[in-house]
Structure 1
Amino acid sequence: MASTLQRLFQRHFSQLADTERLPPHWYRAANKLSRCRTAALGGHVQACPQGHVERVWYNSCKHRSCPQCKGLQMARWLQQQRERLLHCPHHHIIFTIPHELNSLWQLNTAAMMELLFQCASQCLQELLNDERRLAGAEPGYVLSLHTWGRSLSLHPHLHCLLTDGGISDAGWQHPKGSCLLPARVLMAKFRGKLLALLRRAIERQTLRLPDDVSPERMHSCLNHLFRKKWNVRIETRYDHGQGLVQYLARYVRGGPLHDGQIRLTNQQVNFTYTPHRDSATAYRSVCAAHTPERFLKLVLQHVPEPGKHTVRSYGLYAPRKTARLNLARTVFRQAPITKIEPLTWQAYYAQHVTRPTAHVCTVCGAHISHVRNIAPHHDPPRPRPLGGQHV
C-alpha cells in the first residue's frame, strides 16, 4: 500500500512540474519516492512449497529522503557511528545561520552548504588548538546538516558531536578549563568567519543574489547581521555519545517528516507538528493546511543535491584517521576498529519489523522461501487469487 507522501507525489507532482521550473534533483527524488516499493522497481515472490501462501515484496528506492526506506538506512548509519564512538564524554553544539540568509541559501544551496561546513569546522579547529583548551591535542567530531524546522520551514543549521578532549603524543588530553568551549567566543568567531566568507564570495561573484538585491544592499545586510547575536548553542556535556548519535540518526537518515504527520482531504494536506520550545504554542500539536503542490515544495526544498554529503567527520572520527582513532581507543580500553559489515535488510526486518511467524505458512507450517524475481514493470501487476503482501 502506498504511503501518504508517496500518494502525494503520484497524484500531484506532475501538476507542480507543469507550473514551475524545478531543480533537476527534485525530479529524481519525486521519481524515486513515487515508485518506491511498487511494481515499477521490480521485486521478488516468496511462497509456501505447497502453494498455500504467496507474497510479493517490491524493491525499495533507497533514496535518502524516502520515509519508507528510512528505517534500514537509519539503522545502518547508527550501527556504523556507534562502532566508531569513543567511550568518553561528548558535547552537542548547534550552529544556526540567521533567517535573513535564507534567500541566499535557496539560490545557492550547494555553495552555502560548503561555506557552512567550512566555517564551523575552522572555528572548532582554531579554538580547540588554543593553549588554553586542548593545546594541539586532536579531538573527534561529526557535523550533521539539517535544513528544516518542525513546520518544514527553511532553517539551515549544523549539529556537532564533539569529544570532550583529544589525543596527543602524551596520551589523552582533557580540557584545561572548566568548559571545553566558551559559547560567546564560539558564537562571535562563527559569526565573523561566515560573514567574511560570504563577503568574499559576493565580491568574486560566486554567489547568486536575489534579483531585487544589489551587491551593495547585500553587504549592508551582512553589516547588520554582524551586530546581531547569532544562535550558537552548546548543550550540557553528555557522559557518552550513544544517545546523541541516536538522536542525530533520526534526522540524518529519517528525513524531515513521517507519514503519520500527514492527512489528505479533497485538495488539501493537513500537516501536524509540534512547534519549537520558544514558540507560543510550544509542546502543543499544531495542524497546518497546505495545497498539495505547496506541501511538495516544502518537502523537496530539503532534499540534498546528489553527491553532497550532509554528514561529515573530522579529526579522530575522519575516515582517514583510523590509526589515530585506534590509538585513542586504547586509552578507553576499546578494541581497534575493524571492518563493519553493514546490517542486511533481512536482519533488520527480523529485529524490527517481521513477526517470528511471518516466514512460516499459516496453513501447513512450512517455511516460506524465495520463488522468483519480478522484473521492473511500469504497469500495475495483475491481481493474484491469493493476494500479495506489499512490504
Structure 2
Amino acid sequence: MLAKHTLAGVLNLEENHLKELSRSSWHERTLHAIRKCRTKALGGHLDWCKSCDKLHLQFNSYRNRHCPTCQGHKQQQWIEGRSRELLPVPYFHVVFTLPNNLNSVALQYPKELYKILFDSAWKTLVAFGNNPKHLGAKIGMIAVLHTWGQNLSLHPHLHCIVPKGGITKAGYWKKGKNKDDFLFSIKALSVKFRGVFVAELRKTIPNLPQSLYDKLFKHKWVIYAKPPFGNPKNVLEYLGRYTHKIAISNHRIQAIDKQKGTVTFRVKNYKKGGQVSNLTLKIKEFIRRFQQHILPKGFTRIRHYGILSSSWKKEKLPRLQMLLADKEKDCIDVIITKEKSVHRCCPICKKPGLVTLIIFDSRGPPKKYKELVISKIKKHIL
C-alpha cells in the first residue's frame, strides 16, 4: 500500500532552499537524491507481466540508502544472504547506546565517533568472550548502526545479534555459561564498555574538553539485552526489521500542511509502553533533524565480526554449521532456506517474470510507445 505522504514530498516544499538548509554538500546531494527518486527526472521503464498480461510504467530508483522508498528489495536480498549463514544456535539481541552528552561530538565527528562505537562494542564482547571465567571461546556479532530516536532526535546506538556461544581454540563449540539475559553480566559489560569507549575516544579525538569526560563518568552506561531468540527463524525475521531501516518511513508521515509549513508524523513513546502519538514540526526543523541521520559518505553501517565475519563465511562457517547440526537438532530443523525475492515481481499478481519492454530517459517514453509495446509483446509470445 502506497503512503499518502512521503519524505520526498516534504523536501519538495523546500526545493529552492535545500542548499541553505543543508549542513554540507554531501547532505545536499542526499536530499536531492531522495527528492528525485522514482520520478521522471531519473527516467524509467515499461514492464509487462507474462502471467497476468498487465503493463507497469515505473520510474527508476536512485538507490540511496537514506531514501525510504529504496530499501525494500535491498532488505530482502540481505536477508536471503544471511539465511545461508545462520548457525543453529540461540541468538541474543544486545543494544549499545551512547549517552546524550556525546551528541555534539557525533555532529562534529560522525565518522570517527560511530567507528569508535562499533570498535568499542566488539572489543568489550571479545574481552569477555576470550576470558575463560566467562566463556573462553571466539564469538561473533552482527552490528547495525541506528542514529535516531522516534522524534528524529540524535540517539546513536548499535543493534547487535550475538550467538549464544563460541569456538574454542581446539575447534569445538562452547555454549554460554550464563543462564540469565545474556552471555555475560550486563552490569560488568556496561562498565567495561564505558571504559573501552572513553579510552578510544581520547585516542581518536584528543581535543575534546575534560568536562565532557567528567560527565561521561558521572552516570552509569546501560547496555540493553533481550532474552535469546527461540530459533534462527526468529533471528532472521528480527534482523529484517533493523538492517535497512532509516530515520523515518513514508508511512509514519501523517500530514503535510503547506500553508502553515508543518509536518506531522507518528511517534512511539517506549517509556510509556509504545504509546503512539503525533508530533508536528516546522518543515525546516524536520529537515534539520533528518539531516542528523545522513551518514558520512562510504560509511558502513552493517558490520560482521568474529565467527560471523566475511573471512569465516567461505570455508570455516559451513564447517561450523555442519558441526553444530548434529548437536543442535532441535534448532537445525527451523533454519530458513533461501526465500523467493520480491524484486522483479508483478505488483498485481505477485508472480516473478516481469519483462522490460521499453527503457526511457527523463524525456519520458517515446510518443508511439504503444505500437512498440504491442510489437514487442507479440515477438516475445511468438
TM-score bracket relative to the smaller structure: 0.7 to 0.9
The match for 2:19 is: 17
Cα distance between partner residues in 1 of 2:48 and 2:119? 53
Cα distance, 1:383–1:272 mapped onto 2, change above 3 Å = farther
The match for 1:144 is: 144
> Residue 241 of structure 2 aligns to a residue in which SS?
helix
Paired amino acid for 2:357: V
The match for 1:345 is: 343
- 1:9/1:34 contact within 8 Å kept: yes
Paired amino acid for 2:146: H
How far apart are residue 235 of structure 1 and its match? 1.5
The match for 1:234 is: 225
1:223 aligns with 2:214: yes
How far apart are residue 325 of structure 1 and its match? 1.2
Paired amino acid for 1:154: L
1:311 aligns with 2:315: no
Cα distance, 1:170–1:15 mapped onto 2, change above 3 Å = closer
Pick aligned residue for 2:251 from 260, 283, 297:
260
Pick aligned residue for 1:4 from 3, 6, 12:
6
How far apart are residue 177 of structure 1 and its match? 4.2
How far apart are residue 55 of structure 1 and its match? 3.9
How far apart are residue 248 of structure 1 and its match? 3.2
How far apart are residue 232 of structure 1 and its match? 0.8
Deviations, residues 94-147 of structure 1 (Å, cap 9, x unaligned)? 110100110111111001011111111111111100011221x22221111110
Cα distance, 1:43–1:219 mapped onto 2, change above 3 Å = same
Higher RCO (C-alpha 8 Å, min separation 6): 1
Deviates more, 1:116-125 or 1:72-81: 72-81
Give the alignment's TM-score, normalised by structure 1.
0.81
Cα distance between partner residues in 2 of 1:150 and 1:109? 20
The match for 2:93 is: 92
Paired amino acid for 1:183: I
Deviations, residues 279-316 of structure 1 (Å, cap 9, x unaligned)? 4xx43222111111211222222122221111100011
Cα distance between partner residues in 1 of 2:236 and 2:352? 31
> Residue 13 of structure 2 aligns to a residue in which SS?
helix
How far apart are residue 63 of structure 1 and its match? 1.1
> Residue 285 of structure 1 aligns to a residue in which SS?
strand
The match for 2:376 is: none
How far apart are residue 371 of structure 1 and its match? 2.7
Deviations, residues 132-189 of structure 1 (Å, cap 9, x unaligned)? 1221x22221111110111111100011100111123242111234452100110000
Kindly tell me the number of residue pairs found equivalent between the two proteins: 349
Cα distance between partner residues in 1 of 2:45 and 2:148? 36
- 1:132/1:176 contact within 8 Å kept: no
Pick aligned residue for 1:193 from 190, 193, 196:
196
> Residue 264 of structure 1 aligns to a residue in which SS?
strand
How far apart are residue 47 of structure 1 and its match? 5.9
How far apart are residue 88 of structure 1 and its match? 0.4
The match for 1:269 is: 263
Cα distance, 1:17–1:329 mapped onto 2, change above 3 Å = same
The match for 2:373 is: none
User: How does 1:46-61 map onto structure 2 within 5 Å?
Assistant: 46=47, 55-61=56-62
- 1:110/1:308 contact within 8 Å kept: yes
- 1:264/1:270 contact within 8 Å kept: yes
Give the alignment's TM-score, normalised by structure 2.
0.82
- 1:165/1:173 contact within 8 Å kept: yes
The match for 2:157 is: 157
The match for 1:175 is: 176
The match for 1:33 is: 34
Cα distance, 1:145–1:73 mapped onto 2, change above 3 Å = same
Cα distance, 1:241–1:158 mapped onto 2, change above 3 Å = farther
In the alignment, structure 2 segments of 5+ residues that lack a partner are 326-331, 371-382
In the alignment, structure 1 segments of 5+ residues that lack a partner are 206-214, 360-367, 387-391
Cα distance, 1:129–1:60 mapped onto 2, change above 3 Å = same
1:375 aligns with 2:361: yes
The match for 1:389 is: none
> Residue 81 of structure 1 aligns to a residue in which SS?
helix
- 1:139/1:167 contact within 8 Å kept: yes
The match for 1:362 is: none
Pick aligned residue for 1:328 from 297, 320, 334:
320
